[in-house]
Chain A
Amino acid sequence: MPSLPDMMTPDAEGLARQAGQGGAHAPAADADQDAFVEFLLRMGDNALILGHRNSEWCGHGPVLEEDIAMSNIALDLIGQTALWLGLAGEVEGKGRSADDLAYLRDAWDFRNLLLVERPNGDFGATLMRQFLFDAFHFLQLRALTGSADPRVAEIAQKALKEVSYHLERSAEQVIALGDGTAESHARMQAALDDQWGYAQEMFASDATDVTMAAAGIAPDPASLRKPWDDTVDAVLAQATLKRPESSFAHKGGKQGTHTEHLGYILAEMQFLQRAYPGASW
């Protein structure tokens, strides 16, 4: 994607400096530790729920090559889930594994963005959601490679490689489908309009985010707004799609107030663990 702004070159140092401004002190009073766990759940739950949604396409994609590519993205995200939730359990210190966290929490304890739990819609809507999230995820991970917590930086390093590719792919396809036919253009514009309000939740900082930024562990999501806008605007322009004007944000996912959809995802995903408690699989 040569025409995109420079999003493939990690500026880890700059962002790390920014993230680390308040973070000279050693990690974690108790309040900080709660916020840290909360933050890790947000990372893990976004990856888990989006990976789960993407995996629903396996066997149902519009063409074999895309079926395979979408499964690769889902595999990457579920792999990242295991790392983030594994670390969340470790930091929490109550002996919960990544699987415990994925399979034994109810919806109100999930911390993913509303955007990623919404139903897939058509393949174009899935790609639009992927793009809006990838553009954010990429910036977030790039900043996290400079985290004051080396475990976070290490996971981010690995995930960033994968997500750079996700973004390259989803951006290219949003451009292609926006530009393609009258029908594809209309579908992509509708998908964008539909998801725009949900995408805004990504930048809504709360107390957890502020604490993490102050500790130098993670960037304040609000600080990612500008570079996200740059990427998204550039891609939408090439895609001949119109950026929605509304700045309204649907919120709540990060704090555990979800849409009705998440309950159904969990009912399906957690079925075996719930029906046969304690069994080993």
Chain B
Amino acid sequence: MSSEWPLWEVFIRGQHGLNHRHVGSLHAPDADMAIKHARDVYTRRNEGVSIWVVKSVDIAASSPSEKGPLFEPSNDKVYRHPTFYDIPDEVGHM
């Protein structure tokens, strides 16, 4: 058989009551296991967090416009993350 486990997108709401936020993806055989894996992989078991998982293929996303894909920054961000932030130089240094 050797079928690959489906890919899931993981959304987590932390203890501070903000919206669920996309934190990443993982593979799991079904939704129950995806939630457990999400707990192990993305929260290291913090309690009091709420986890959503959704199969990646089930996400409907807006597409880049046919006309200007090269010039307009697209809104097609299936993988929505916090915007880039700089890690201070001290990271990785002693």
Q: Taking chain A's interface residues, is the majority helix, strand, or loop, or is none over half, making it mixed?
A: helix
Number of B positions contacting A (CB below 8 A):
16
Q: Which of B1-32 contact A (CB under 8 A)?
A: 1, 5, 26-29, 32
Q: How far is the CA of A172 from the CA of B40 in the complex (A)?
A: 15
Given contacts A169-B36, A172-B32, contact A65 B45 (CB under 8 A): no
B27 contacts A68, CB within 8 Å? no
Contact of B28 among A65, A165, A169, A181 (CB under 8 A): A65
B36 contacts A172, CB within 8 Å? yes
B47 contacts A161, CB within 8 Å? yes
B44 contacts A65, CB within 8 Å? no
B40 contacts A69, CB within 8 Å? yes
- CB of B1 to closest CB in A, whole Å: 8
**Interface status of B33 (Cβ within 8 A of chain A):** yes
**Interface status of B37 (Cβ within 8 A of chain A):** yes
Given contacts A63-B5, A63-B27, A161-B47, contact A68 B36 (CB under 8 A): no
CB nearest neighbor in B for A172: B32
Q: What residues of B have a CB within 8 angstroms of the CB of A68 in the complex?
A: 37, 40-41
Given contacts A63-B5, A63-B27, A172-B32, contact A69 B47 (CB under 8 A): no
B47 contacts A65, CB within 8 Å? no
Q: Which of A57-89 contact B (CB under 8 A)?
A: 63-65, 68-69, 72
Q: How far is the CA of A181 from the CA of B27 in the complex (A)?
A: 20
- CB of A246 to closest CB in B, whole Å: 32
Q: How far is the CA of A65 from the CA of B40 in the complex (A)?
A: 8
- Name the residue among A65, A161, A162, A169 with the largest chain B CB count within 10 angstroms: A65
A65 contacts B26, CB within 8 Å? yes
- CB of B93 to closest CB in A, whole Å: 25
- CB of B49 to closest CB in A, whole Å: 13
- CB of B17 to closest CB in A, whole Å: 22
A72 contacts B36, CB within 8 Å? no
Q: What residues of B have a CB within 8 angstroms of the CB of A169 in the complex?
A: 36
Q: Which of A159-197 contact B (CB under 8 A)?
A: 161-162, 165, 168-169, 172, 176, 181
The 10 listed contacts between A and B (C-beta, < 8 Å) are A63-B27, A64-B27, A65-B27, A65-B40, A65-B41, A69-B36, A72-B40, A162-B45, A176-B29, A181-B1
A residues adjacent to B (C-beta < 8 A): 63-65, 68-69, 72, 161-162, 165, 168-169, 172, 176, 181
B residues adjacent to A (C-beta < 8 A): 1, 5, 26-29, 32-33, 36-37, 39-41, 44-45, 47
Beyond the given A65-B33, A69-B40, could you list 10 further A-B residue pairs with CB under 8 A, ordered by the A residue number? Answer: A65-B37, A65-B40, A68-B41, A69-B36, A69-B37, A162-B45, A169-B36, A172-B32, A176-B29, A176-B33
Q: Which 7 residue pairs of A and B lie closest in terms of their CB atoms, listed nearest first?
A: A65-B37, A69-B40, A72-B40, A68-B40, A68-B41, A65-B26, A169-B36
